[in-house]
């Protein structure tokens, strides 16, 4: 048996482990009370602190914080509250005739002690969103937000300490070493949001304890635009979906596949929309955030330099300022396939454009890469839309819009293989933090008892009839 006593967080883990059944047996009303407390903290009590912290971390505009950080958490809580009683109730199922005299059902029971490791791009949303699901399912939770956004991590730590005892929910700040140490412990479930490379590390650590995982990863989300699309509307939606949060969104359009015949007209519309959003000088726009740190800024600048080396066409943007971690909204075309922008997930305000002639060409190109977290189609042609959906694979798809599918609580959110394992949001998040425990109860003498040994010809005939008819 592994000795965990030397682990820095062992005592905290044990306190939550010892408390898991008490928390797991809480009622619907008790869980709702906790969710209401979290909602009040995010929506009212700590709202200004949240806004300021995210601005201090990467100059996130207040309105954008309200829209992409506070609203998703508050709306998730509202949705969960309105459905939680049904989710917690006994789920009856039919019992086959061969098991006559019994009844069957299953319950959603808590998984136990859970670990949530969250990223820096939407730190409040992607920390407290999974927490809502974990609370609803009746788990104890340790939260580890990203070290790259320390200001909002500090505020979230205040919120958690204000609402919860640490034997139910605890938030640990600190560098990557904190996560490494936590991953050594035998959690019952791990919810991780981040890159596929780190996701593999998390999954490997979980495998040591046969811990279940939810991995919300990323990938290169393609966006297809055909000749039937409304170019002005399409350009407006893509400009928003790509450049909000400075492009640091796992489901943002990563690259465009534009029908060759409409490329020039689309580019004109896109340039106009970006200017309408962020003016001619995005560096002076109060609606445009920044790259989170120097490391990611340098990574993106290297992409730009690589594009220049390949003589790509800078349709728009390309300028950067290291002192402010600023990169202009940038659109690039005529990239060779070996350019880094077409190989790696960009996660920044740089948008490559490729052209195509046939749907088959589009499908083959998408399928030559890992399954994306999201796939977007702008088209009015039903057959085109259906052909692309049927012949590709993706975590989610949105038609004639982008990013917004994340906001529908009735839809499962998550990837496929390299872009993720498991689903979140609403019932799917509740389910992810739960174990479906099956129960069968025998009420009367069961028919199966007539078939206990010793076996006779009569019993054989009954078995034969059972196989044939039941």
CA distance 87 to 81: 10
Q: What is the DSSP string of 135-196?
A: HHHT-EEEEE--TT-HHHHHHHHHHHHHH--TTTEEE----HHHHHHHTTS--SEEEEES-H
CA dist., res. 397 & res. 379, Å (int): 13
Secondary structure tally for the chain: helices H, strands E: 16, 18
Residue 194, judged by CB atoms within 10 A of its CB (0-12, 13-18, 19+), counts as: buried
Question: If you write DSSP's letter for every residue of 36-58 in order, what string do you get?
Answer: HHHHHIIIIITHHHHHHHHHHHH
* Tokens describing residue 136: 């609803």
Starting from the edge strand earliest in sequence, which strands make up the sheet with 434-442, in order? 91-93, 102-110, 434-442
What residues act catalytically? 216, 250
Task: Give the DSSP per-residue string, 267-334.
Answer: HHHHHHHHHHHH-S-GGG-TT----SSHHHHHHHHHHHHHHHHTT-EEEE---EEGGGTEE--EEEE-
Q: Extract the runs of DSSP E, i.e. beta strands, from 328-421.
A: 330-333, 350-356, 374-378, 396-399, 420-421
d(CA 342, CA 456): 70
Among positive and negative, which fits the CA dihedral 244, 245, 247, 249? negative
Helix (H, G, I), strand (E, B) or coil at 107: strand
- Nearest CA to 267 among 311, 313, 303? 313
- The pair of three-digit structure tokens given for residue 371, joined into one six-digit string: 């399954």
């Amino acid at each position: 048996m592994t000795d965990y006593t030397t682990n820095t967080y062992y005592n905290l883990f044990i306190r939550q482990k010892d408390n898991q059944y008490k928390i797991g047996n809480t009622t619907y009303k008790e869980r709702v009370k906790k969710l209401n407390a979290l909602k009040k903290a995010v929506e009212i009590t700590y709202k200004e602190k949240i806004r300021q912290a995210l601005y201090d971390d990467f100059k996130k505009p207040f309105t954008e914080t309200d829209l992409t950080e506070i609203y998703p958490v508050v709306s998730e809580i509202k949705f969960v509250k309105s459905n939680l009683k049904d989710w917690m109730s006994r789920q009856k199922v039919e019992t086959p005739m061969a098991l006559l005299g019994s009844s069957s059902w299953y319950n959603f029971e808590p998984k136990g002690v859970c670990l949530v490791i969250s990223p820096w791009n939407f730190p409040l949303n992607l920390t407290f969103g999974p927490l809502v699901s974990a609370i609803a399912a009746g788990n104890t939770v340790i939260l580890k937000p990203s070290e790259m956004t320390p200001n909002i991590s500090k505020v979230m730590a205040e919120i958690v300490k204000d609402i919860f005892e640490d034997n139910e929910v605890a938030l640990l700040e600190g560098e990557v070493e904190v996560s490494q140490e936590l991953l050594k412990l035998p959690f019952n479930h791990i919810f991780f949001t981040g890159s596929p490379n780190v996701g593999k590390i998390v999954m490997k650590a979980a495998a040591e304890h046969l811990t279940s995982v939810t991995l919300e990863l990323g990938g290169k989300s393609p966006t297809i635009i055909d000749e039937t699309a409304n170019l002005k509307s399409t350009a407006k939606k893509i400009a928003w979906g790509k450049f909000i949060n400075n492009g640091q969104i796992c489901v943002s359009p990563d690259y465009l596949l534009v029908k060759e015949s409409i490329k020039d007209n689309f580019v004109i519309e896109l340039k106009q929309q970006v200017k309408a959003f962020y003016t001619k000088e995005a560096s002076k726009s109060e609606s445009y955030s920044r790259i989170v740190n120097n490391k990611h800024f340098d990574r993106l600048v290297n992409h730009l330099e690589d594009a220049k080396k390949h003589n790509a066409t800078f349709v728009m943007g390309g300028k950067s300022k290291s002192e402010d971690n600023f990169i202009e909204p940038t659109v690039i075309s005529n990239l060779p396939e070996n350019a880094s922008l077409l190989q790696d997930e960009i996660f920044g305000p740089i948008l490559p454009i490729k052209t195509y002639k046939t749907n088959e060409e589009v499908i083959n190109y998408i399928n030559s890469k890992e399954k994306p977290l999201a796939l977007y189609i702008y088209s009015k042609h039903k057959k085109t839309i259906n052909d692309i959906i049927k012949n590709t694979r993706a975590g989610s798809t949105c038609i004639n819009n982008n990013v917004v599918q994340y906001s529908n609580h009735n839809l499962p959110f998550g990837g496929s293989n390299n872009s993720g394992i498991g689903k979140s949001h609403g019932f799917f998040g509740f389910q992810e933090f739960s174990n479906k425990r099956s129960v069968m109860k025998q009420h009367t003498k069961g028919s199966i008892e007539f078939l206990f040994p010793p076996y006779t010809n009569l019993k054989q005939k009954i078995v034969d009839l059972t196989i044939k008819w039941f």
